[in-house]
Amino acid sequence: MIVRTLVVAALLLAAVVLETALFPALTLFGFRPDLLLLTTVVFATRDGPLTGLRVGASAGLLGDLLVSSSPVGLAVLLYGVAGALVGWSRPYLAPNSVTAPLLLAAGASVLATAAYGVLASLLADERVSAALVVQAAIAVGLYNALLTPAVQVVVRRVTDAFPLRTAGLE
C-alpha cells in the first residue's frame, strides 16, 4: 500500500510538471488541460469514490500550492468532490466502455472548472468573469477528454501493478 501511495504521488508530481512546463506552450483556445483533475477522474473510474476522494484531495493540494494563485483549499475541495462523485458513478459504467470514461472526464472537467471559477469569483478574485468561466470550462473539458486515453493507459498500469487492498471500503 505504501508503494502504491508513492507511485500515485510520483504520478501526480509528473502531472504538475507537465501541466506547468509543457502544456502552457500547447494551449487549446488559450487554456491548458487540468491534468491533476483528469488524473483524479481516471483513478476514480478505476478504483471508486474513496480513491477518487483521496487522489482528488492530494491533487487539489498540489494544484493549490504549486500551480494556481487562488486560495489554498479551493482545488482540494473541488477535486475531492469530483473524484468522489465520479467514483460513485463507477458501478453504473459498462466495464469495457470506451466512451463512458471520456464523457465522465469531459463532464467532470467542465463542472469542476466552472465551479472553481464561480467559487474564485465569490472569493473576490477580480480576474474571473462569467464569460471567462464558460470559455475555460468548455476548453478544459475538451482538452481533458482528448487526453483521457493517454492518462487511462498510465493509470491502468499503476492500478494493475499495485492493486488496491481494502476490506470492502471501495
Per residue in 30-62, pLDDT (tens digit) is 888 999 999 999 999 999 999 999 999 999 999
The topology (CATH level 3) of 2-161 is Arp2/3 complex 21 kDa subunit ARPC3 (1.10.1760)
- Residue 113, pLDDT above cutoff 80: yes
Radius of gyration of the chain (CA): 15
What was the pLDDT predicted at 98?
A: 82
Residue pointed to by grid coordinates 498500469: 157
- Alpha-carbon distance of 100 to 18, in angstroms, equals 25
- Alpha-carbon distance of 79 to 24, in angstroms, equals 21
Which one is predicted more confidently, 22 or 141? Answer: 141
- Alpha-carbon distance of 47 to 66, in angstroms, equals 26
Annotated domain spans of the chain? 2-161
Average pLDDT over residues 82-87: 96
Least confident of 2-16, 83-97, 150-164: 83-97
Q: Which backbone phi and psi does 28 adopt, to 5 degrees? A: -120, 110
Asked if residues 138 and 110 have their Cβ atoms less than 8 Å apart, the reply is yes
Residue 56 contacts by C-beta under 8 Å, 6 or more apart in sequence? 37, 40, 44, 76, 79, 80, 81, 82, 83, 84
Tell which residue, 69, 84, 5, 76, has the closest CA to residue 13.
5
Whole-prediction pTM: 0.90
pLDDT band at 166 (very low <50, low <70, confident <90, very high): low
pLDDT digits 0-9 by tens, 117-150: 899 888 877 888 889 899 999 999 999 999 999 9
What was the pLDDT predicted at 14?
A: 95
Q: Which backbone phi and psi does 31 adopt, to 5 degrees? A: -120, 150
- Residue 86, pLDDT above cutoff 70: yes
pLDDT band at 157 (very low <50, low <70, confident <90, very high): very high
Amino acid identity of residue 147, one-letter, is L
